[in-house]
Structure 1
């Protein structure tokens, strides 16, 4: 990946930060997108640049603002001279019981999980085609096996999974498009899942343990670095949970 450039959305914290560190360790330059976590993004940029000068930068954008998405791509290319890969990681996640769904939560969940990846990929496509690059979308195992209480989130991720396959068709043969679907890797912020729920989720994985962010980051790295004959696919990184549901 030496000399290549990767744009990672939602890269200041959690899975996005792990993906950025993994791709940087592979030799890539990384552009970290963030929405609000400016301190975390700037700290990660400083950490990466201390290892390799001028190899990381960050940009702020609200992905719900579709008109700002081409700027993310343009500023990345202006900073590093090229764009070889896009990782659509940024996501909203919260319950939406039927009866309480309104347009505000629709716009948030569909906007962050489906609309933004589409329009960001569209903006990036010419640069990715020139580089014969790739896109990795971070979906969810619940895109195919819905989670009770989260119908809108599951629908948004299901849309992203379908979009992954559709874009693989549309952007072939120059750009590969794949997805990584995490299982129990990082618990959501805010204590959404109590201890009993977490224990039940882990009990339904074949490996009987939660994963770690590096498991997702390594899968992304494989798809970007080593999987030159793979497109239109999804890798479930879930400890075997989907085989046991």
Structure 2
């Protein structure tokens, strides 16, 4: 049985991917800050929920010690997905250094800490690492400086790790565009879709993304079919980053 770790795995895209991996027969350790969301995952013996701040060094070390005891044979996949989801931090001239650091730590620092902690377990199985970037690493809306900087840093960290850790560990990133995640809140009632018909229709693919789109790419990157793919950032956005958009 293959084993994965997903950070930020009790909610949103991470939860969707955790569910998909379990359906495919994987064991999954889920790291998340939300105790209620993690509680909703309890009861599955092949799923290890761990309340963890992925941006805190001591917390990450403790979590990976638990994971090493749970999966002593090593890891087949580490999906560094944790982040503060909302990109809008307000006007940059009013953005405090503390808030900047909080947002960077939740995403870029968390990716570094979990990557560092997971390397020995990945090496044991010649596993794959996948980091969560965003199309906002390449294009922006106003008031998203911290989010864009963190995701851009993850793109660069990904190719640096790929060169340092290959050939034993392949390292890639996913860069989603708009993904519908309102129904992916563990232990909560489904929320209405966040995207309007006009939001969906503007995509060249004719829709916004779903967690299945991300999970399919994640499984591909974790598998032998992607054995010659490393250091790459895979954009999954329905074509929006290839579309010229001007106000008329």
Which aligned runs of 4 or more in structure 1 are off by greater than 3 angstroms?
197-204
1:102-141 to structure 2, matched below 5 A, reads 102-141=96-135
Provide the residue aligned with 1:39 in structure 2.
36
User: What is the CA-CA distance between 1:170 and the residue it aligns to?
Assistant: 0.8
1:54-133 to structure 2, matched below 5 A, reads 54-81=45-72, 82-92=74-84, 93-96=86-89, 97-133=91-127
1:1-245 to structure 2, matched below 5 A, reads 3-36=1-34, 38-46=35-43, 49=44, 54-81=45-72, 82-92=74-84, 93-96=86-89, 97-186=91-180, 201-225=199-223, 226-245=225-244
Structure 1: give runs of 5+ residues left out of the alignment: 190-194
User: What is the CA-CA distance between 1:214 and the residue it aligns to?
Assistant: 1.1
User: What is the CA-CA distance between 1:233 and the residue it aligns to?
Assistant: 0.8
| Structure in which a larger fraction of residues adopt helix | 1
Q: Which moved more, 1:106-115 or 1:62-71?
A: 62-71
Q: Secondary structure at the match of 1:99?
A: helix
TM score, norm. by length of structure 1: 0.87
Q: Which moved more, 1:232-241 or 1:79-88?
A: 79-88
C-alpha distance after superposition, 1:101-129 (max 9, x if no partner)? 11221111110110110111011111111
Q: Secondary structure at the match of 2:238?
A: coil
* Paired residues, number: 231
User: What is the CA-CA distance between 1:213 and the residue it aligns to?
Assistant: 1.1
User: What is the CA-CA distance between 1:188 and the residue it aligns to?
Assistant: 7.8
Q: 1:201 to 1:158 in 2, by over 3 A?
A: farther
User: What is the CA-CA distance between 1:187 and the residue it aligns to?
Assistant: 6.2
C-alpha distance after superposition, 1:120-179 (max 9, x if no partner)? 101111111121011111110111112222111101100011101110011111000001
TM score, norm. by length of structure 2: 0.86
**Contact persistence 2:12–2:181 (CA under 8 A):** no
Provide the residue aligned with 1:192 in structure 2.
none
CA distance in 1, matches of 2:242, 2:168: 33
CA distance in 1, matches of 2:4, 2:107: 19
CA distance in 2, matches of 1:55, 1:102: 41
**Contact persistence 2:107–2:151 (CA under 8 A):** yes
CA distance in 1, matches of 2:16, 2:181: 15
CA distance in 1, matches of 2:42, 2:235: 29
Q: Which moved more, 1:111-120 or 1:203-212?
A: 203-212
